Homo-oligomer: A and B are copies of this chain.
């Protein structure tokens, strides 16, 4: 029977609790959002004593389900003021699950201000110890020190100096299979919440842990096989498929071609340098330079898509892992930068300082619009990243994210929703993703409902990207995502396969039934996804959010974006229909 670990940072205690019945049949985001709704006052200060941060495993985490094992991290976000769930690959989800834990809840705040702690969890229990000696450094220095201290078989969930400094773009880092500090629950500033709790890192040692019981092995195996088959068949997810060979950056040229690659702070939908930062160029560079460079890297054990990569320097030594689509776009096209070596260095700095690459790139774009650097000036962009790392006043501004930077410098063209930076899909020519950005419970977030699949990729059907009436489509994606991917522990990228293959979709549900002993149908799961969203919206409403917050920034309504020369013209009434079902 799995447990919940509750850590109180005020009195520095850690105790194991039985999982309440109401939480037994959920996981991941379903669990973090439930706990946040049940235990966190919606109007509390996100960095104050009354917020809590929850780390939860998905339903199938720790099992042999393919491409699963993501860890969800939730609470009230200092970036958006909304409820927040952000999830990550890497090693933590599976180890946490195999330790027999469904979640860790961290509450309170240390009496000694600024003091930081490590939480070690293993089969013997949980203990807090001072983080002295492991703070105020880059994570490329800190993580190896922690592995040296605790063993290289542990998983580490940690924050960088940005989180220590309570910056709102601070993410939470999870080591990858080679123990790089490179996988991130990046969005929403949850690293600052962890920092506000005085928690530098959680160390998970699952050696000898109880593992994950499976109630109905037959159902589980049947489901797993269906999902594996679907993943192995689909052009996007199969071995040698698009994600496996060119990584997520395979999208750079696709979205640029669609006229929807946000360029130079969302002032153009096409980037003349797109091909230079494309997945194809990434693959070619890895091959040409040789050495450690590789595409088809796995971010988490048990993933059969393997879309990660290791980017080499010209001499073949390792520069950074990983150059993802979102990161390359944010720090590349959005800043007018057309070099993978430059985006690689910027991503490496994000990893080192512990910040979200999307928020960082959009923030630098806003800073460029404010005149702090010229678009395309990668050297200056790197200097701006160092300001964040050094914690200078300018670093604190940038570290607070795009909306804060825009506000501080009086920039009106600020591409955020509910304070969170938009990802790599321009909503003006892709109306459905615009509805997702506007109406997600988390601020602008493509992972809340990836309508890009039918709008651009002809996956799960095909719809005209310029059509505005997509509230029903958006609702379907928002609900499906909340449970199928975010609560099960599966990666969002299985969606490509399961959207096109009903058997794969059934497989995911059957895996859950196998683990939990339930007999859910696909419809049940969609309904439960809707329940999660409803719960999250109730939290946000109690925190003061209204339909006025479910809107894109004003400038996107009066400024037309080339090359389609369209503004965001989805009527407010259509936006409001999204949750009106």
Q: Kindly identify which residue among B166, B396, B548, B558 contacts A43, using a CB–CB cutoff of 8 Å.
A: B548
Q: Kindly identify which residue among B408, B548, B553, B558 contacts A396, using a CB–CB cutoff of 8 Å.
A: B408
Q: Given the complex of chains A and B, what is the CA–CA distance between A43 and B393 in angstroms?
A: 30
Residues of A381-411 contacting chain B, CB below 8 A: 392-394, 396-397, 400, 404, 407-410
> Nearest residue in B to A166 (C-beta to C-beta)?
B410
Q: Given the complex of chains A and B, what is the CA–CA distance between A196 and B396 in angstroms?
A: 25
> Nearest residue in B to A164 (C-beta to C-beta)?
B410
- Interface residue? A546 (CB, 8 A): yes
Q: Given the complex of chains A and B, what is the CA–CA distance between A152 and B392 in angstroms?
A: 45
* Copies of this chain per assembly: 2
> Nearest residue in B to A546 (C-beta to C-beta)?
B544
Q: Given the complex of chains A and B, what is the CA–CA distance between A45 and B411 in angstroms?
A: 10
User: Beyond A397-B396, A546-B546, A548-B544, is A407–B404 a contact (Cβ under 8 Å)?
Assistant: yes
- Interface residue? A554 (CB, 8 A): yes
> Nearest residue in B to A547 (C-beta to C-beta)?
B544
CB A269 to nearest CB in B, in angstroms, measures 21
Task: Say whether B408 contacts A554, CB under 8 Å.
Answer: no
CB A190 to nearest CB in B, in angstroms, measures 14
Task: Say whether A551 contacts B43, CB under 8 Å.
Answer: yes
Task: Say whether A47 contacts B168, CB under 8 Å.
Answer: no
- Interface residue? A267 (CB, 8 A): no
Q: Given the complex of chains A and B, what is the CA–CA distance between A150 and B78 in angstroms?
A: 50
CB A360 to nearest CB in B, in angstroms, measures 16
Q: Which residues of B contact A397 (CB under 8 A)?
A: 393, 396-397, 408
Q: Given the complex of chains A and B, what is the CA–CA distance between A290 and B409 in angstroms?
A: 43
CB A109 to nearest CB in B, in angstroms, measures 9
Interface bits A453-484 vs B (CB < 8 Å: 1, else 0): 00000000000000000000000000000000
- Interface residue? A192 (CB, 8 A): yes
Residues of A552-581 contacting chain B, CB below 8 A: 553-555, 558
Residues of A41-61 contacting chain B, CB below 8 A: 43-45, 47-50
- Interface residue? A165 (CB, 8 A): yes
Q: Which residues of B contact A166 (CB under 8 A)?
A: 409-410
CB A414 to nearest CB in B, in angstroms, measures 8
Task: Say whether B554 contacts A544, CB under 8 Å.
Answer: no
Q: Which residues of B contact A78 (CB under 8 A)?
A: 407, 410
- Interface residue? A167 (CB, 8 A): yes
- Interface residue? A549 (CB, 8 A): yes
Residues of A526-552 contacting chain B, CB below 8 A: 542-546, 548-549, 551
Q: Which residues of B contact A168 (CB under 8 A)?
A: 407
- Interface residue? A412 (CB, 8 A): yes
Task: Say whether B410 contacts A408, CB under 8 Å.
Answer: no
> Nearest residue in B to A399 (C-beta to C-beta)?
B408
Interface centre among A44, A49, A412, A545 (most CB of B within 10 A): A412
Q: Given the complex of chains A and B, what is the CA–CA distance between A48 and B166 in angstroms?
A: 30
Q: Given the complex of chains A and B, what is the CA–CA distance between A166 and B410 in angstroms?
A: 5
CB A265 to nearest CB in B, in angstroms, measures 14
Q: Given the complex of chains A and B, what is the CA–CA distance between A545 and B400 in angstroms?
A: 23
Q: Kindly identify which residue among B49, B407, B543, B549 contacts A400, using a CB–CB cutoff of 8 Å.
A: B407
> Nearest residue in B to A542 (C-beta to C-beta)?
B548
CB A457 to nearest CB in B, in angstroms, measures 33
> Nearest residue in B to A548 (C-beta to C-beta)?
B544
Task: Say whether A165 contacts B554, CB under 8 Å.
Answer: no
Q: Which residues of B contact A542 (CB under 8 A)?
A: 548
Q: Kindly identify which residue among B43, B50, B412 contacts A47, using a CB–CB cutoff of 8 Å.
A: B412
Q: Which residues of B contact A48 (CB under 8 A)?
A: 412, 554-555
Q: Which residues of B contact A408 (CB under 8 A)?
A: 396-397, 400, 404, 408
> Nearest residue in B to A48 (C-beta to C-beta)?
B412
Q: Which residues of B contact A192 (CB under 8 A)?
A: 410
Interface bits A65-93 vs B (CB < 8 Å: 1, else 0): 00000000000001000000000000000
CB A533 to nearest CB in B, in angstroms, measures 20
Q: Given the complex of chains A and B, what is the CA–CA distance between A396 and B406 in angstroms?
A: 11
Q: Which residues of B contact A409 (CB under 8 A)?
A: 166, 396
Interface bits A247-274 vs B (CB < 8 Å: 1, else 0): 0000000000000000000000000000
Task: Say whether B45 contacts A554, CB under 8 Å.
Answer: yes
Task: Say whether A44 contacts B554, CB under 8 Å.
Answer: yes
Q: Given the complex of chains A and B, what is the CA–CA distance between A45 and B407 in angstroms?
A: 11
Q: Which residues of B contact A549 (CB under 8 A)?
A: 544
Q: Given the complex of chains A and B, what is the CA–CA distance between A404 and B166 in angstroms?
A: 14
Task: Say whether A555 contacts B410, CB under 8 Å.
Answer: no
Residues of A319-366 contacting chain B, CB below 8 A: none
Interface bits A172-192 vs B (CB < 8 Å: 1, else 0): 000000000000000000001
Query: Given A78-B410, A396-B408, list of 9 further CB < 8 A pairs?
Result: A44-B554, A47-B412, A48-B412, A167-B410, A195-B410, A196-B410, A393-B393, A393-B394, A544-B548
